[in-house]
């Protein structure tokens, strides 16, 4: 008898590691060298975890042999609490802090604890697709609200409100945004908080890139902005601290916790069923959040990340028929292809042909639950020399398909 996958998976996808990624692996197995610009994996491009974090993990490794509190080590949770207190968030308790195996696990747990069949969660489009996938796995429905490319990819507030129904349970905010690189101004964050308050919704704020901010942009956290709704704010080690493989994430509950006693009971239950998060990594969280922050040098105009972002944006928009809003944060650009100027059928044709002919791997825009067929996401993590070479090949590829 053939064994079939769960029907819950039939309509779910995760294109960042989807069919094009599988094709790239097949080409690698044939001996081709692939330039992987599809995933924000800092270590793969020489962005290493700070030595101080690694040192503290090594020193404490013997202390990490047993289980700990399912919500996390006290010292790690205390460090997270103080991090947000220093950003002006008040009335935080240790009980409000949870440590997870990366933000990815936290996304799964917060949705599993909340959703019943056909409940709806509002998620930005384009989005980080794990949010949409997890909502589906939890039995809910992802409803996508528009982010406006003509307004620097800011959320369309009217569109958000038009899609709120009696089934809506929460709004997801991804800020800084993956894949667009948008960093939302204060009035946008405040307006979304007010929408959640008006309609009595939970606000989930994914802030994993909150220190990767360029130029004059400023990040405004949603944590603690309203006492009348529950706000769930997430961060982690993967990007700011270049420790993606450590799988260390955290979340903080602020606001109307007294209205969410049942939900918090559900969270505590699910956190206890996975026993605890990776204990070794938790010994690095206190070190990461305190003291010198090396990411600040990387995002300065003279810093490596900033220079690579500038180079990638400059070379992409220099290609006739390609436009791109300059990112204010995160690690990505989300360019638009004017398909009238090329013979590509759509962005998926561009992505697959770029891989097959130039051996460069990027991700099509529809992989981020974005309906138009003319965008793709590219990571600007490689060193300037490698990035220059890849962008030159991308320009050649566009010219090869120009009408």
Q: What is the CATH number of the domain that holds 364?
A: 3.90.1150.10
249 in the same domain as 160: yes
Tokens 């436009």 correspond to what residue? 323
Helices (H) and strands (E) in the chain, counts: 13, 15
In a domain, 258, yes or no: yes
CA atoms within 13 A on the CB side of 156: 13
Cis peptide before 309 (omega within 30 of 0): no
- CATH code at 90? 3.40.640.10
The helix (H) or strand (E) run that includes residue 37 is none
* Predicted confidence (pLDDT) per residue in 366-386, tens digit: 999 999 999 999 999 999 999
pLDDT of residue 295: 94
* Residues sharing a CB contact under 8 Å with residue 22, sequence separation 6 or more, in sequence order: none
Q: Is residue 66 located within the same domain as residue 162?
A: yes
Predicted local confidence at residue 1, as pLDDT:
85
Is 116 in a helix, a strand, or coil?
A: coil
Checking DSSP bridges between strand 168-174 and strand 120-125, what pairing results, if any?
parallel
**Which residue(s) pair with 120 in the sheet?**
141, 168
Residues 322 and 285 in one domain: no
- Length reported for the chain: 403
Does residue 218 sit within a domain? yes
Tokens of 100: 């997870």
**Of 259, 289, 319, the domain-final residue:** 289
Distance, CA of 401 to CA of 339 (rounded, Å): 10
Domain count, the chain: 2
Q: What is the pLDDT of residue 16?
A: 65
27 and 104 in a single domain? The answer is no
Give a yes or no: residue 1 inside a domain.
no
Residues 172 and 262 in one domain: yes
In a domain, 234, yes or no: yes
DSSP state of 353: H
22 SS3 class? helix
Residue 349 in any domain: the answer is yes
> Is the domain of 252 the same as that of 136?
yes
2 within some domain:
no
213 in the same domain as 107: yes
**Nearest one of 190, 197, 199 to 222, comparing CA atoms:** 190
* Per-residue tokens: 210: 């909150």
Q: What is the mean pLDDT of each run of 10 residues along the chain (403 residues)?
A: 82 74 90 92 92 93 92 95 92 95 96 96 97 95 97 97 98 97 97 97 97 95 95 96 94 95 96 93 93 92 96 98 97 98 96 96 95 97 95 97 96
Q: What is the pLDDT of residue 17?
A: 67
Q: Is the same domain home to 265 and 277? A: yes
pLDDT at residue number 10: 74
Show the domain range for 372. 7-48+297-400
- From 289, 311, 338, the end of a domain falls on 289
Task: Specify whether 81 is located in the same domain as 127.
Answer: yes
Same domain, 197 and 322: no
Final residue belonging to a domain, choices 289, 321, 337: 289
Whether residue 66 sits in one domain with residue 32: no
Residue 247 lies in a domain: yes
Are residue 284 and residue 321 in the same domain, yes or no? Answer: no
Q: Which of 184, 81, 179, 191 is nearest to 131 (CA)?
A: 179
Residue 217 falls inside a structural domain: yes
Cα dihedral 236, 241, 242, 243 sign: negative
Q: Please indicate, yes or no, whether the overall pTM of this predicted structure exceeds 0.75.
A: yes
Name the CA radius of gyration of the chain, rounded: 21
Q: How many CB atoms lie within 10 A of CB 258?
A: 9
- Tokens in use for 54? 């690694």
Helices (H), 32-101: 51-59, 74-85
């Amino acid at each position: 008898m053939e064994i079939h996958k769960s029907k819950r998976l039939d309509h779910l996808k995760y294109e960042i590691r989807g069919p094009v990624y599988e094709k790239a692996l097949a080409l690698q197995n044939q001996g081709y060298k692939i330039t992987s610009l599809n995933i924000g994996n800092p270590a793969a491009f020489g962005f290493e975890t700070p030595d101080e974090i690694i040192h503290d993990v090594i020193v404490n490794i013997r202390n990490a042999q047993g289980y700990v509190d399912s919500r996390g080590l006290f010292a790690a949770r205390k460090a997270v609490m103080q991090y947000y207190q220093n950003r002006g968030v008040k009335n935080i308790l240790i009980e409000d802090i949870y440590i997870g195996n990366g933000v990815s696990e936290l996304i799964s747990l917060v949705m599993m604890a909340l959703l019943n069949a056909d409940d709806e969660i509002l998620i930005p489009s384009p989005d980080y697709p794990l949010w949409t996938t997890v909502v589906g796995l939890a039995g809910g429905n992802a409803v996508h609200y528009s982010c406006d490319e003509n307004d620097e990819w800011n959320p369309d507030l009217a569109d958000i409100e038009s899609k709120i129904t009696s089934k809506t349970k929460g709004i997801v905010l991804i800020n800084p945004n993956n894949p667009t690189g948008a960093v939302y101004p204060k009035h946008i964050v405040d307006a979304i908080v007010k929408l959640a308050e008006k309609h009595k919704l939970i606000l989930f704020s994914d802030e994993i890139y909150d220190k990767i901010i360029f130029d004059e942009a400023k990040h405004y956290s949603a944590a603690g902005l309203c006492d009348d709704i529950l706000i769930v704010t997430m961060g982690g080690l993967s990007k700011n601290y270049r420790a993606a493989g450590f799988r260390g994430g955290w979340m903080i509950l602020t606001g109307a916790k007294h209205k969410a006693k049942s939900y918090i009971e559900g969270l505590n239950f699910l956190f206890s069923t996975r026993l605890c998060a990776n204990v070794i990594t938790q010994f690095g969280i206190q070190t990461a959040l305190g003291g010198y922050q090396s990411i600040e040098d990387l995002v300065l105009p003279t810093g490596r990340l900033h220079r690579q972002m500038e180079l990638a944006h400059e070379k992409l928009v220099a290609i006739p028929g390609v436009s791109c809003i300059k990112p204010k944060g995160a690690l990505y650009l989300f360019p638009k292809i004017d398909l009238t100027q090329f013979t590509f059928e759509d962005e998926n044709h561009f992505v697959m042909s770029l891989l097959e002919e130039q051996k460069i791997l990027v991700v099509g825009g529809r992989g981020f639950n974005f309906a138009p067929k003319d965008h793709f996401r590219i990571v600007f993590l490689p060193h300037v020399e490698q990035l220059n070479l890849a962008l030159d090949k991308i320009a050649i590829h566009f010219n090869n398909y120009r009408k």
